[in-house]
A and B are shown apart, each in its own frame.
Chain A
Amino acid sequence: MAQPTRLGGNALLAFILGFPILAGLAGTVLPAFGYLPALGGFDVTLAHFTELARQPHILRSVLTGLAAGLLTTVATVAIVGTFVAGFAGTPVFTRIQHVVSPLLAVPHAAAAFALAFLVAPSGFLLRLISPEVTGFTRPPDWLLPNDPLALTMVAGLVTKEVPFLFLMMLAALPQLALLRARRLAAALGYGPVAGFVVCLWPALYRQIRLPVFAVLVYSVSTVDVAMILGPQLPPTLPVRVTQWAGDDDLGARFLASAGAFLQLGVVVAAMATWIALEWVGKAALARVTFSGRRFARDGALRAAGALAMTGCAATIFAGLGLLTIWSVAGLWPFPDALPGNLTPKTWMRTLPQIRHPLLTTIALALLAAAFALVFAILLLHRNGAGGGQKSAAGYRLLYLPLLVPEISFVFGLQVLMLSAGVAPNFASVLAVHFLFVLPYVLLSLSAPWRELDPRFEKIAAGFGRSTLEILFTVRLPLLFRACLTALAVGFAVSVSLYLPTLLVGSGRLATITTEAVALSSGGDRRVIGIYALVQGLLPFLAFLVASLGPQLLFRNRRAMRT
């Protein structure tokens, strides 16, 4: 019997990820060119772009965001690259890896709040040394955070993007001949960093290139981090687009769409700049390689890399500790280093209200991550373990939702779902969460999936087992830990989604994150502290389960507890 033509995994992926994004983009692009019938926009016009160009200081908003995004990406790649080059394969590496990994679970907004509480003139660091060292009895009038060059924002973004890129590099490392290359480079007299860069960096970078672009797009387009830490006069373009989208004057919606379209252009410009930087880097690397210079004494550079890595972790952990103290603080005036009295009042008041959004958050995150995992397994299975060139093209599609700025398509998506008669309910929000969660789940599962030694399956096939039997009895049990990790990653992504949850759910579905952002507009640090803690604790628990799960399930099979 002839096999029916299989729908290729890539085509399926393209449809599931591509269709909603393209449709959402259409819902943004059409109003940008004047088409939005509900507001009387029937004519195609460039007037809204003219209006956009006339917005005061628009060029500066564009350039600040673009520069901050590029700087963040350069710094992130430099920090993670230096650290990996200097330490991959050493015990220090493993130790720092354990400190940095949990940071992936902390939502961007929570990390930004944490940093702001630390460095502000009325923040913890100054309280700690005031008035004894500084003589300040009142906070000094320093412009920090929200500095005009967006350096605090870059610092905030870097602390959050470093763990992401680091984990992406970790996934790619096993495919490099690390130890052999290290020995060879050392024998030739190279320092660890230079040896790694010359021998292994090009191969490593090829694998992490798309995650680097994801970092770039996120940094250029961020809204929540920019609102907390970024410059305010003027704010970056994505923040302004969000403001226009929420303007009382509904006519500003055309302007917002034009701005969202411009943001798409900014992202493209950022990518083009990055590609140019890649060429420069490539040429520089070639020069260094051919120059034969060994850079043997790189102790300071390696120390700087390790320091920067641990610094990111220390900042966020200290900030989270501070949020914890704020959540139980009574009155806490400057320059007291600690609150005068502690009270559980805020927790007592907040906990009963947290229950319902908490259940919604967990249900959404668990289901979205589980569906994404099942779908990812199906897709990887269809593509075959080898993957090869064809599936590599497919994996690039995964980055589609990460490479299109959220703000450029979520409003359009909302209009689309309503037009299709989809009610704003749990199921439709779940569908959108799935869309955002799937890429991350697939990304974190695909590397271990490709790595698994194909000989296990060949042996099983030799015993006459069917493909499905092999999948369930050999591959999945061997990849159990990887599956759990992918599930935890998906869980974390779902927990942190704000704009899609709010817009597609019409605000009816309250999650911890939507509540946290709504409350942050009220500015009470105590309540912000509680929500940020719960928001960060959830994914942390998911990762804990992922790391303990295999130990419990396979407690009598030592070899599978990896």
Chain B
Amino acid sequence: MYRRAGQIMAAALLAFCIAGKASATDPGNWEAVVAEARGQTVYFNAWGGSENVNAYIRWAGDEMKARYGVSVVHVKLDDTAKATATVLAEKTAGKDEGGSIDLVWINGENFAAMKRAGLLYGPGWATKLPNWRYVDYETKPTVLTDFTIPTDGLESPWGGAKLVFFYDSARTKTSDLPDSATDLLKWAETYPGRFSYPQPPDFTGSSFLKQVLTELVDDRAKLQRPADDATFAADVAPLFAYLDKLTPLLWRKGKAYPQNYADMKQKLADGELDIIFAFNPAEASSAVANGELPETVRSFVFSGGTLANTHFVAIPYNASAKAGAFLLADFLLSPEAQLRKQDPKIWGDPTVLSLAKLPASDRSAFERLDLGIATLRPDELGPALDEPHPDWMTRIETEWIRRYGAAN
């Protein structure tokens, strides 16, 4: 019911934006955007759980101030859904202008929810940004479809992500490492209590379920569409048969789970877990550099492929400083900002740009980056598996909680 109302509202809103003062903040007229943005303050709502990321955003804010006279305030969230909640509360209160969020760092689930409820500004602004010309939308299809949902230029890509596993080579034999989900189950039988995954609906934990589902489902094409009520139970049966076997072999026998990736990282350092994973190939290198993980930690992937996706920035429909938000989104896409982001000493997040499209000097700077001792080179990262449609994740999380939510 509310979905349809949301669509109607979104359509009405869209009509309003086009009819209204859209020309003043049209990224197609970039000079006007730059002029309008000067003096604006951009409230950038982004996860604030990592000092590396926070420092990077601070750097971007300083550059924006120096170059364009735009102030950037990083509103640090512990969960991106809080930003969705804020925009929703503003919409509930009828605050359709002068909203409190100008730019938000977003992933597939938040995007799907906000797009459905008509909470995003757009469409089409992202592909009009000047730096869009460098974006690798040919070989990285996840730049145009976020978890199978078309981005429609409603969000601008910011960084790539790939599921990568980490282990401590001082404790775990490299020759033992699993090479697929099925292998991982055998490994857990040999070493019970040394593997776990963050408790769904944590993003990283749910991603693990999607990885297993993708490997075990009879037809991967199904995952690119919303789940079918008629076949859902049969489609996910292999996943839950797998989890039924794995759960008693997990850390704490599946009676408790790590809370998120960072919690797993701490547990690898404490010696509670032997294999962990993250959605950023450089996480381990940067944790080693910070003294959070021992220097013997290394990465590996499954040769059959692991999930890959892209994360984005989007503008709420009622943002106050849209011009400033365009400018910041464009700056975050610039070769300079992307290069800095991929540096593991700073963040280590893979770029969304195509090296082939970059000017020669920028290209060679990317090629010269030292990715760190625990980071796999791009050609070692293995094949990329597509993210399933968000509908699968929602249903699997519900089913997971029903089955394993009261393990104690």
Contacts and interface: CB of A to CB of B under 8 A. Distances in A.
Q: How large is the interface on A (under 10, 10 to 19, 20 to 34, 35 or more residues)?
A: 35 or more
Nearest to B94: A419
Given A40-B5, A419-B93, A507-B77, A139 B270 contact: yes
Given A353-B54, A523-B265, A233 B49 contact: no
B65 to A, nearest CB: 15
A418 B92 contact: yes
A248 B81 contact: yes
B401 interface: yes
B255 A249 contact: no
A121 interface: yes
Contact of B43 (A60, A353, A508): A508
Interface string B67-97: 0000001011111011111101111111100
Given A146-B256, A233-B255, A250-B117, A517 B291 contact: no
B88 A38 contact: yes
Nearest to A246: B81
Nearest to B258: A523
A521 interface: yes
Contact of A525 (B1, B82, B253, B266): B266
B291 A515 contact: no
B394 interface: yes
Contact of B89 (A41, A414, A517): A414
A521 B257 contact: no
Contacts of B408: 143, 147-148, 231, 233
B100 interface: yes
A243 interface: yes
A510 B73 CA distance: 10
A233 B256 CA distance: 7
A39 B88 contact: yes
B251 A507 contact: no
Interface string A341-368: 0010100011001000000000000000
A517 B110 contact: no
B405 A520 contact: no
A176 B193 CA distance: 57
A524 interface: yes
Interface string B165-195: 0000000000000000000000000000100
B81 to A, nearest CB: 4
Nearest to A42: B5
B51 A349 contact: yes
Nearest to A243: B201
A108 interface: no
Interface string A87-124: 00000000000000000000000000000000001100
Contacts of B260: 521-523
B50 interface: yes
A334 interface: yes
A418 B100 CA distance: 11
B251 A141 contact: yes
A349 B54 CA distance: 11
B92 A36 contact: yes
Interface string A403-441: 000000001001100110001100000000000000000
B291 A232 contact: no
A135 interface: no
Given A38-B91, A350-B51, A56 B255 contact: no
A229 to B, nearest CB: 11
Interface string B256-288: 110111110111011110000000000000000
B291 A57 contact: no
Given A234-B405, A246-B79, A507-B86, A251 B2 contact: yes
A414 B90 CA distance: 9
Interface in A518-537: 518-527
Contacts of B91: 38
A232 B43 contact: no
Contacts of B238: none
A350 B55 CA distance: 10
A250 B394 CA distance: 12
B252 A141 contact: yes
Which 10 residue pairs of A and B lie closest in terms of their CB atoms, listed nearest first? A40-B5, A522-B49, A523-B262, A148-B408, A418-B93, A40-B2, A122-B270, A248-B109, A38-B92, A57-B406
26 contacts: A40-B5, A56-B402, A122-B272, A141-B193, A243-B201, A248-B201, A250-B117, A251-B2, A333-B269, A333-B270, A334-B272, A418-B89, A419-B93, A424-B100, A507-B45, A507-B75, A507-B86, A510-B75, A518-B77, A519-B48, A521-B262, A523-B260, A523-B263, A524-B51, A524-B266, A527-B51
Given A56-B401, A418-B92, A523-B259, 13 more contacts: A39-B2, A41-B2, A56-B402, A247-B81, A248-B109, A251-B2, A353-B58, A418-B90, A423-B100, A507-B76, A517-B78, A521-B259, A523-B262
